[in-house]
Structure 1
Amino acid sequence: MRVLAVWGAVVAVLVGGGTAVAVGGPEADLAYHGAAAMSGGRVDVRFTPRNHGPAAVPDATVRLRWSEPLLNRQALPGGCARSAERVVLCRVEALAADGVGERVELRVRVRGVPSEVVLEIDTVWNGGTVDRNRENDRQRVLVLDSGDEYYF
């Protein structure tokens, strides 16, 4: 069921040609904070979604986009699906106003062994809410192939 919701968001993004964020409706403020580390072409990412409110978010989908292509075969956690060569979408459960969601953790492998990747995270579906503060739900982090964690 979670995968179907993710694919529904994928279709909305592809049909809409970009970000499927509502323009009318209750206001919510999504944010994502976490860390990423890379070693030998393997990238580990973990982040926690938060809704600063004032309204609840019934459902949301987060896009994770890498600067390098991903290997074709990936073992992704439930609620996450590959949507393009460099993109994975993950469903975020409902978030109460001023609520913290469940942590999302995934590991992907990029092609080759690059010395660095850029990871971009943003909301592509927010359950019909309006997010007027898009600065905190868009993250961009440079991850070096050092095994060190880079926080966002």
Structure 2
Amino acid sequence: MRRMRVPVVGAAALVMAAAVPGGAVGAPEADLAYHGVVAMSGGRVDLRLMTRNYGPSAVPDATVRLRWSAAPVNKQALPAGCVRSGERVMLCRVGVLAAKSVARQIRLRVRLRGAPSEVRVEIDTAWNGGAVDRHRHNDRQRVLVLATGDEYSF
């Protein structure tokens, strides 16, 4: 058994967790998934994101990370629970996710620098309350959005 550092979003300290291949010993198992719709026009991206936990255990708290290939403008209003975490990264708190449930919808309107013809947004889990997720394919999304105003589902 080896020890590894696990960052806690929003905390200054690092938590130490005993880990084995496939996850932390004794940690609850959950299956987070992200689905939604994104569109871009005139340098503005509209994103609606639904977070789901397929279970079997509840997640006490979760945070989703959004990475943009084009930098958002520096000053813009973000919804409650969302913060900038770098030039091209945003974090949004999902909160508690009961097993086999859907969390609140996260809606973002992000203004990008300039008016790029396309942007790639990568969506993944930044924090899942220490749960083990053995199905990582559905909580990692990468969407290429063209500046046509068309909606892209993921």
Tell me the TM-score normalized by structure 2.
0.85
Of 109, 116, 119, the residue aligned with 1:117 is 119
Alignment partner, residue 88 of structure 1: 90
Q: Which has the larger radius of gyration?
A: 2
SS, match of residue 138 in structure 2: helix
Higher helix residue share: 1
Query: How far apart are 1:11 and its partner, in Å?
Result: 5.2
CA distance in 1, matches of 2:123, 2:82: 14
Please provide the CA RMSD for this pair: 1.9
Structure 1 residue ranges (4+ consecutive) displaced by more than 6 angstroms after TM superposition: none
Query: How far apart are 1:23 and its partner, in Å?
Result: 3.2
Question: Greater relative contact order: 1 or 2 (C-alpha under 8 angstroms, separation 6 or more)?
Answer: 1
**Structure 2, unaligned runs of 5 or more:** 1-7, 16-21
CA distance in 2, matches of 1:71, 1:15: 30
Higher strand residue share: 2
Identity of aligned residues (%): 65
One-letter code aligned to 1:150:
Y
Task: Establish whether residue 35 from structure 1 lines up as the match of residue 33 from structure 2.
Answer: no
Deviations 1:83-104 (CA, angstroms, capped at 9, x unpaired): 1111110000211110111100
Alignment partner, residue 19 of structure 2: none
Tell me the TM-score normalized by structure 1.
0.86
**Structure 1, unaligned runs of 5 or more:** 1-7, 17-21
